[in-house]
Amino acid sequence: MPILYFFRHGETDWNAEGRLQGQTDIPLNSKGRQQASAIGRNIGAGKLDGVDARYLASLPFIASPLLRTRETMALLRAGLGLPPEAYAVDDRLKEICFGRWEGSTWRDIVERDGGGAQARDRDKWNFVPPGGESYEMVRERVAGWLDGLTGDACVVAHGGVARVLLVLMAEVSRRNAVGADIWQGKLLRIENGRHDWLPGPGHWEP
């Protein structure tokens, strides 16, 4: 299994407002741009213990095609001193689609579709929102992408993609994956069935 260096896109206004983004193409906000630049600069400066910046810079870089991930990738690479646009995109790395729920807060959904909200709470992994996808459906497409990897890689994608990668690569249960914290402005390293977030508590923050 390859080593995956995973970055969730930086913050957007919809993240800050608690809105479900899914595949709606929302740009980074100023905090998100700062997060993406800072993680690249700090890795390049050798401030991430156990991460070889030169090795990481030599790897393939692959992003979801959505705007917030492409912006994050370009800023991350610029922070590492790499050409910002020299990376690949893959549609299979898109965020989970929330269908007609996209743009809503969870409170909006509870008020408008209480039955759907309750059904999702009972089984977050398999629930399919109206017009959307389940995490299991995302797992199937991400597994196809993962099968095609021939070596270690750097990836910029989304929270839902990170959750299914934890299941596929890090022996995290489906129940735990859907409730896991997926951080912005940090690096998720998945290696040999283990995963860790860098930097950890007490280290630099963007």
Give the model's confidence band at 54: pLDDT under 50 very low, under 70 low, under 90 confident, else very high: very high
Asked if the model's pLDDT at residue 204 lies above 50, the reply is: no
Q: Is the pLDDT of residue 44 over 60?
A: yes
pLDDT of residue 49: 86
Domain ranges of the chain: 4-198
167: left (phi over 0), alpha (psi -120 to 50) or beta: alpha
Which pLDDT belongs to residue 84? Answer: 98
pLDDT computed for residue 200 by the predictor: 63
Average pLDDT, the chain: 95
- The reported pLDDT for the residue numbered 205 is 44
pLDDT tens digits, residue range 72-103?
999 999 999 999 999 999 999 999 999 999 99
Q: Is 3.40.50.1240 the CATH classification of the domain at 4-198?
A: yes
DSSP result, 183-198: -SSSEEEEETTEEEEE
- Residue 199 pLDDT level (bands cut at 50, 70, 90): confident
Euclidean distance between CA atoms 181 and 196, whole angstroms: 12
202 pLDDT above the threshold of 60: no
Which amino acid, 118? Q
Rounded to an integer, the average pLDDT of 193-201 is 85
